[in-house]
Structure 1
Amino acid sequence: MKKLFGLVLAGALVLSARVEASNGNQYAGYGAQAMGMGGASIANPTDSTVAINNPAGMGAVGTRVDGSLMATAGQLRSNVHGSKNSDDVLLFLPGFGVNYQYLPDVTLGLAVSGYGAGVDYGKPIPAFGTSNVKSTLAQMLISPTATYEFAPGHYFGLSVKLGYESLMLHGLENFGATNDTGHAFGVGVGVGYLGTIAPGLRLGVTYSSPVWFQKMEAHEDIIPDGRLNAPQQAGAGLAYDMGDWTFAFDYVWINWASQKTFSNSLTQGGAPGAGNGPGFGWRDQNIFRFGVNYKVNERLQVRTGLSLANHQVPDGEATLIAVAPCNQPKSAHLGLTYKVNDEIEVTGSYMYDFRHITKGTGASKGTEAGGELHMLALGVGYKF
């Protein structure tokens, strides 16, 4: 087990070096089964990656190990004052979770998740600099998690979020950036509740603090305060079981506006690297996730879902969207799980991020970027 975990974690750190996401630098869904339901999982735990979505959900999944591999393919395009650029994406990102029923009312577990965005155009953008444009933001969170069942069917969960991040900027000399890669470690916490509030009806509530990262010395002269913290977020969900059907709904709020690097306007007015210096100009996101699961028989389940969110990049802040194309905030999902035997289940999921093109206005006029992405996930779960 230790060797398996070590291999999964090492692979996650390596392969997350460049990923694409939907809601800022986050995916619409985490966990192969949750992804098939549009990400709706705050009140509908299905495997040991649920700690990413709601720590309390680990209390309801028992002793198990889950691993997944997500493949992302698509096209990203941009046009910056007549300079047309493209990046054809083919990326792989692993996920991992493990949970142990330590006592009848206590579980101990761990989940690993990746976040990020990036492009590699293979040529310069004259408005940005003279070197080939390439950017990568990668964040990896390792979340040890404990839950306590304080009343029958009611769980409290706590996660400690241990983070590692890297930021590579290349080809942005006109903004004062050096062609370098910065690294930092961080920490945050997540808490959650999951409970059965009526026959067949579950409620989930969760909150995650920011993940506070160290300063990135390589970029402290360009990003506000030299820090790139992951934002705080909160969510609530409902799930209802009706015979062989399960219906789930989540609402998630991501507070990008609380983190200066994400929220400061590019025309903020302060010096690069200062607390009031230029940033990406993002705003908060409100995300609505809907999912339905149908149990065909004792071995097969099928599911579908939608994730709908506002675009976090205002049109007037689109100048840098060409190097951070996180602008496909609406997605459709499909999935299925096949139970091989009493211990092993295999899950496949598909997510399509709808094509979205952002066209800059005001100070960002002349810039547009966007694309569409397809994601396939294969997950394997083992119940003890």
Structure 2
Amino acid sequence: MQFDKARLVLRSAAVASALGLLAVPAQATEGYFALGFGPVQRGQGGAGVAAEGSNAMASTINPAAVAGMGREMSLGLQLFMPYRGYNASGTGFVAPGSLRSGHNGFAVPNFAYNMPLANGAVLNFAAYGNGGMNTSYPLVLNSSPGCVAAAPPGMNYGAFCGGQAGVDLNQLFLSFTYAQKVGNVSFGIAPTIAGQAFKAWGLGAFTGLSASPSNLTNNGYSYSLGYGLRGGIQVEVSPVLSVGVAAQTKMKMSSFDKYAGLFAGGGSFDIPASATIGLAYKATPSVTLMADVQRIFYSGVPAVSNPFPNGANPLGGANGPGFGWDDVNVFKLGAVWKASDKMTWRVGYAHSSNPIGPEDVTLNILAPGVVTNHFSLGGTYQMTKRDSVDFSVVYVPPVSVTGQEITPSGPTPGSSVTIDMHQFSASVGWTRKF
């Protein structure tokens, strides 16, 4: 019996990991970080760093959250639908007109398994997509004065006056958590392995700005591996109030060699550090309220935070240009109502600051992560004593940012570039307690 359980867990982990490598998270929410890593977290607006874990995926928001949990397995799948594009006028470096990115639907899986130990601690394994960015701009007919040099009127052009253009960044985390509860304090530590896949195409207009033009665009996927550490603590201040803190170090990643002429530092693209603090309050025996504050340190990754252009530094140089993203602050509110033994409901709201300013819209046509407000609803239905189904939906209203076209020689007088995005997602998951 134990052998069958172990075989089921290993097989599920292998499937989830393989699916994760194929997943395309595409412009998650807080910049390119995910709102949550399973339907439970997403249903409550990503909040819960101070709350007891509802299932094994709770280790992804705070490794300490699974300290008091038993043996269980969680599987989930999110259908993520981002809608993004841009509108430009008076431009020459950027193709004028209105273009919408294709590929608006992505499947993002998650998996976690929680195993109690003889000393009262637990081990937890989780595989999940942390975030990513994706755009895919089609060819359109050039009927305006812009892009004449690259595509005369009557011919096709792309977003940067070349062919079809876009980027695709996928991230997968494999996290191994040790957690334990001692008195009213729970703690957890989670060594984490990260994998990334990236490709870019249609960026020939940037060739003259690159330190390595042959490693700038149209090179297919390049892969990166790295590692970091996650950790957290929860303290029960009273029977109804808990405080939680969780943090993630910067994940040190190997370089994208095929794009050493695009990302600062010869293809370096580390995963930013983040930190979260929060409260969980049991307003009644059946209602829990949560509030979290998170900060994501995009400034620690030059390829993400350096401005475009960045003086005379070339793309791919030691201090080369990046996307110009600022650090992000995220405020999350969530509520959980256990309506009956069979049904639990969740609602949430999250607001994040916008990492992209008007001065950075040009390059961020490729990564328009500008959304700020997130509204969520979800629940859990207890099918049997051991099996439950989780679900959630998230709506992210449209946000746009407008600025001048910025070229290597400076702003284009009279130009205007507007990038925009809105999102919708639906998630479902299954939890089995052993």
Which TM bucket (shorter chain)?
over 0.9
Tell me, which stretches of 5 or more residues in structure 1 are unaligned? none
- Residue matched to 1:100: 115
Aligned length in residues: 382
SS in 2 for 1:279: coil
- Residue matched to 2:137: 121
The alpha-carbon deviation at position 104 of structure 1 amounts to 4.7
The alpha-carbon deviation at position 126 of structure 1 amounts to 5.1
Task: Give the alignment partner of residue 291 of structure 1, picking from 334, 337, 344.
Answer: 334
For the 8 Å contact 1:260–1:275, the answer to whether it is kept is: no
Which structure 2 residues correspond to residues 13-28 of structure 1 after superposition, within 5 A? 13-14=21-22, 16-17=23-24, 19-28=26-35
- Residue matched to 1:54: 62
Q: Distance in 1 between matches of 2:262 and 2:322?
A: 9
| Amino acid aligned to 1:103 | A
Is the aligned partner of 1:30 residue 2:37?
yes
- Residue matched to 1:224: 264
Is the aligned partner of 1:175 residue 2:206?
yes
Q: Distance in 1 between matches of 2:382 and 2:418?
A: 45
Is the aligned partner of 1:249 residue 2:291?
yes
For the 8 Å contact 2:378–2:391, the answer to whether it is kept is: yes
Is the aligned partner of 1:134 residue 2:180?
no
Q: Distance in 2 between matches of 1:313 and 1:133?
A: 20
Q: Distance in 2 between matches of 1:127 and 1:268?
A: 22
| Amino acid aligned to 1:249 | A
SS in 1 for 2:359: helix
| TM-score (norm. length: structure 1) | 0.96
Which structure 2 residues correspond to residues 320-359 of structure 1 after superposition, within 5 A? 320-359=363-402
Moved more, 160-169 or 116-125: 116-125
For the 8 Å contact 1:18–1:136, the answer to whether it is kept is: no
When residues 104 and 197 of structure 1 are mapped into structure 2, their CA distance, relative to the original with a 3 A threshold, is: farther
For the 8 Å contact 2:241–2:281, the answer to whether it is kept is: yes
For the 8 Å contact 1:83–1:126, the answer to whether it is kept is: no
For each residue in 1:317-349, what CA deviation from the matched residue of structure 2 results, as whole angstroms up to 9, or x when unmatched? 111221112121210000011111111110110
The alpha-carbon deviation at position 362 of structure 1 amounts to 7.0
- Residue matched to 1:367: 417
For the 8 Å contact 2:73–2:114, the answer to whether it is kept is: yes
User: Could you say which structure has the larger radius of gyration?
Assistant: 2
- Residue matched to 2:430: 380
For the 8 Å contact 1:291–1:305, the answer to whether it is kept is: yes
Q: Distance in 2 between matches of 1:24 and 1:134?
A: 17
| Amino acid aligned to 2:418 | E
- What is the percent sequence identity of the aligned residues? 23
The alpha-carbon deviation at position 275 of structure 1 amounts to 2.3
The alpha-carbon deviation at position 197 of structure 1 amounts to 1.2
- Residue matched to 1:158: 189
Task: Give the alignment partner of residue 186 of structure 1, picking from 226, 235, 244.
Answer: 226
Q: Distance in 2 between matches of 1:309 and 1:282?
A: 13
Moved more, 261-270 or 26-35: 26-35
Task: Give the alignment partner of residue 147 of structure 1, picking from 161, 165, 179.
Answer: 179
Tell me, which stretches of 5 or more residues in structure 2 are unaligned? 1-7, 141-156, 208-215
The alpha-carbon deviation at position 113 of structure 1 amounts to 1.7
RMSD: 1.6
Q: Distance in 2 between matches of 1:36 and 1:380?
A: 14
| TM-score (norm. length: structure 2) | 0.85
Q: Distance in 1 between matches of 2:231 and 2:304?
A: 24
- Residue matched to 1:87: 101
SS in 1 for 2:13: helix
Moved more, 178-187 or 330-339: 178-187
